[in-house]
Structure 1
Amino acid sequence: MRYRHVFAWILVAAAALAAAPPADSSLRTNCPRLSGSWYGDNRARLQQAIDEWGTCTGHTGGLPQALGPARAGRTPVVAAFDWDNTVTKNDVTDATLAWALRHDKILRPASWKATGKWLTDAADTALTAACGTDVPVGAPLPTATNTRCTDEIFEIRAEGRTMSGAAAFAGDWNHRRTVPQYAWVPQLFAGHTIPELTSYARRARAEALAAPVGATRTLGTHTLPAYVRYYDQQRDLIRTLQRAGFDVYIVSAGSEPVTEVWSRGVGIDARHTVAIRSVLDRHGRITTWNQGCGDVPVNRGEAIPYIDGKRCWINQEIYGVRGAAAWQRQDRRHRPAIAAGDADTDVTFVGDATGAHLVLNRNKSELMCRAYDDADGRWVINPMFIDPLPRRRDPYPCSTSAYNAPDGSKGPLREADGSIVPDQEDAVH
């Protein structure tokens, strides 16, 4: 952390302490305590945020007095977590899609091109050739045995390209609001009902939890993790936050029915799980349309919980902010106190947090630049709890190409005052 940031944080902390009630040790002992193994002093720093913001402190609404009585104003004290590779090791949407492909659960669409707004002619041609036209429209594709079809679907999902290397998606989209291959996964389940997709996710979950750590499987010609694990530390953190009076939410760029199956395992219900929400037809079947956010109405994937989209969905679903304002950073009483993520898709909402920004280091440039820059002194960096990545050898390119621009280009990452964030060394791994 640079010296100017240390000094700024000392001033903020001093102001908060001056406005707070007289010191009372009982305020701290009332709060539940974190357990488990964390990197460095991270557990103590997270505990400090819980003590500072939780309703267990005796402060008004759990907020420092300097920030005002949020609870009295009926604003909840919120903690928000990304899901995949933040609460669990490995991606639960991929686990569910892999299970579905191995059990012939993808229904043949009338047109592959119609399944995704930005799907290219090359992708449409590749999918049609690989998956064939013998199966009637609406019937299950034999992906368990037709490895060409499985390969094309999974390559497009994972890499955004066909098996021949052609771009699978093209056109214009806001790269801070969506990524086409993420939006495409719920669209692949068009024709199914929510209970059907939920049942697939449950069976995939049981299989992934039973597989040993480190296990892989072959899907077509792709090799992918066969296991998923809940991080014990994150499960304990979520439980502790709930006991401390926080409203804890999951905000994921995965399919919402799938994420809901997994979030129940850490005590978070469907109402507190926000992910890609498919529009249903009059028979209750999933369509290729998604519910909208902010000033974006029902759409084909333009506004999913992705980078700035996560902020929008938090503002809309948790704080009731409507219209274009949902895309904007809100005042401190209408932002999460604690937020956690692992990738660039999480950088906006994790950065919005007012008490602690928890980051699991997966070497994602924009997020790690923000974390190591540590502008407010509240960024908490932890290696992944299972199979952490080694140290990145080169500095993160914060000053040149870490920022993901809306048009898809890369550029320098900037501070709130417009100055450029300097390159950062990878120190927590």
Structure 2
Amino acid sequence: MNQRLRLRSSAVTAVTAALALAATSLISATAAEANPRDQRTPRPCPTLRVSDGWHGANKARIDALLAAHCHDEGGSPDAANGRKPVASRGGKPVAVFDWDNTVVKNDVGDATFHWLLRNDRVRPPRHGDWSTTSRHLTPAAATALGAACPTAVRVLPTATDTRCADELFSVYASGTTTAGDAAFAGHDRRRTEPQYAWLAQLLHGWTTRQVEAFAAAARAENLAAPQGATQRVGSSQVTGWVRYYPQQRDLIRALREAGFDVWIVSASPEPVVDVWARGVGVDPSHTLGIRNTTDHGRLTSHLKGCGTVRDGDDTMITYIDGKRCWINQEVFGIRGPAAERVQPASRRPVFAAGDSDTDISFLRDATGLRLVLNRNKNELMCRAYENGDGRWIVNPMFIDPKPRKATPYPCASTGYTAADGSAQPVRRTDGSVIPDQQDRVF
């Protein structure tokens, strides 16, 4: 009898254990269905596929940055302070690239301007008053343009009217009239460059879609032209080709695969940048360029503002400190005066890339790495070579790199251009002066 009781008790225990195991399995399965991410195999972090053209340890440092922030929308701890200095409005780490001579070789704004002149696509200002095309245009330049270009036409015949084309080209390209008079004045040199802005302002009267078509035609011509090709604009021979850098296309691909929110910021007209940026997988919602105001669907000669600058004031574009403002406003959602100021690390880009002094403010804001393509620009190279926090990496241009600069960069004397145009020493955040720097990466 006792033996039968013992057997029955063992059987009950076995059944109970089986039921408990089944319940546990059911709970685990239900949890897995509720949290399918727990069952996924983590994706490997991307790395750069193109090795050619990277200087020294630059590729390895970029790969390390990709690994540190890979698929982490909340951000990865910063090695210096243990915090997470990573956040856009979508919670992703942000990467920002300048465009001209950073992602491509040569200048897409220039390419578009040349195409406009060669194809009669610049409209004269209303009543022939060239001063309406830019509040910074000097009287000498307005007079010269009025004398050189006809007024009673729908579009200027710049493909055949060499005098008009030459005057327009001189004002845009050199900032002077053909007679040598200054074409622009009265602007803040840290917020705007009137020559760059003028290209956007000369698009007045066209729709955004028409400007995109012009840019697409110029893009096709410049990509098809052999490297080193030139073209004639008026009586000038100018650059006639553009190339995407394979290294930068690869870098943008890797950043996006790693989960970065990738943006383009350029001092070219935004519809032009929109067309070109699609070639590296960046759509127009992530490009920042010079933005015109519109009237009944057509572009005007006035520009959108940022921070404390109102629409139509025309005093700040995506240029030096203006690039910082537009990134803060459009990428991080910061409005008003705060958009003009340096933000906490959690509201700044992790990665930034540029080639010119025009990029210095947003490059300095980057919390992870700052990639500089060396075009011998004084302030930029002073800060990059001094490399006070170890986050700057310098690379020669990927196509036709510049030779070594024979003399040191004048950091301690004239490397910085102030808002009033005066040349001053390049200073650190604490006010101390950066010493002159030798050119080391070329």
TM-score > 0.5 by shorter chain: yes
66-75 or 106-115: which moved more?
Answer: 66-75
Instruction: Tell me by how many angstroms 1:124 deviates.
Output: 1.1
Cα offset for 1:39? 1.4
Alpha-carbon offset, residue 113 of structure 1: 1.1
Kept in 1, the 8 Å contact 2:86–2:349? The answer is: no
CA distance in 1, matches of 2:236, 2:290: 25
> Are 2:319 and 2:358, in contact at CA under 8 Å, matched by a contact in 1?
yes
Counterpart for residue 159 of structure 2: 144
Is the counterpart of residue 287 in structure 1 residue 305 in structure 2?
Answer: no
C-alpha distance 360-321 of structure 1, shift in aligned 2 (>3 A) = same
Aligned partner of 2:419 in structure 1 is 406
Which structure 1 residue ranges, 5 or more long, are not aligned?
1-26
Q: Secondary structure at the match of 2:68?
A: helix
Contact preservation (8 Å) 2:86, 2:348: no
Once the 2 structures are TM-superposed, how far is the Cα of residue 108 of structure 1 from its aligned partner?
A: 1.3
User: What TM-score do the two structures reach when normalised by structure 1?
Assistant: 0.89
Which residue of structure 1 lines up, in the alignment, with residue 13 of structure 2?
A: none
1:138-181, CA deviations, whole angstroms, 9 ceiling, x for partnerless residues?
A: x011000011111111111111100110000122x211110111
Deviation of 1:428 after TM superposition, in Å, equals: 0.6
Cα root mean square deviation, aligned: 1.8
Over 3 Å counting, the alpha-carbon distance change for 1:255 and 1:74 in structure 2 is closer
Moved over 4 A (4+): 69-74
- Counterpart of 2:341, as a letter, is Q
* Paired residues for 1:30-179 under 5 Å: 30-36=44-50, 37=52, 38-55=54-71, 60-64=74-78, 66-68=82-84, 70=86, 75-110=91-126, 111-133=129-151, 135-136=152-153, 139-171=154-186, 173-179=187-193
- Unaligned runs of at least 5 residues, structure 2: 1-40
- In 2, the alpha carbon distance for the partners of 1:200 and 1:221 equals 22
Instruction: Find the aligned partners of 1:418 and 1:95 in 2 and give their Cα distance.
Output: 39
SS in 1 for 2:75: helix
Aligned residues of 1:288 and 1:300 also touching (Cα < 8 A):
no
The counterpart of 1:335, out of the listed 340, 348, 362, is 348
Contact 1:62 1:71 in 2 (8 A): no
- TM-score normalised according to structure 2 size: 0.87
Task: Note if contact 2:352-2:366 (Cα within 8 Å) is conserved in structure 1.
Answer: yes
Deviates more, 1:29-38 or 1:405-414: 29-38
The structure-2 alpha-carbon separation of the partners of 1:53 and 1:394, relative to structure 1 and needing over 3 Å to count, comes to same
> Which whole-Å deviations, capped at 9, do the CAs of 1:339-392 have from their partners, x for residues lacking one?
000000001101110110000000000101110010111111011111111111
User: How far apart, CA to CA, are the structure 2 residues paired with 1:200 and 1:330?
Assistant: 37
- Which residue of 2 is the match for residue 11 of structure 1? none
Pair 1:416-2:429 in alignment: yes
Q: What is the aligned counterpart of 1:243 among 253, 257, 262?
A: 257
Say whether 1:365 aligns with 2:378: yes
Question: Offset at 1:59?
Answer: 8.5
Task: Give the residue type in structure 1 aligned to 2:353.
Answer: A
Q: How does 1:200-211 map to 2 (within 5 A)?
A: 200-211=214-225
C-alpha separation in 1, matches of 2:45 and 2:122: 48
1:67 is paired with a residue whose SS is: coil
Give the drift of 1:69. 7.7
Identity %: 53
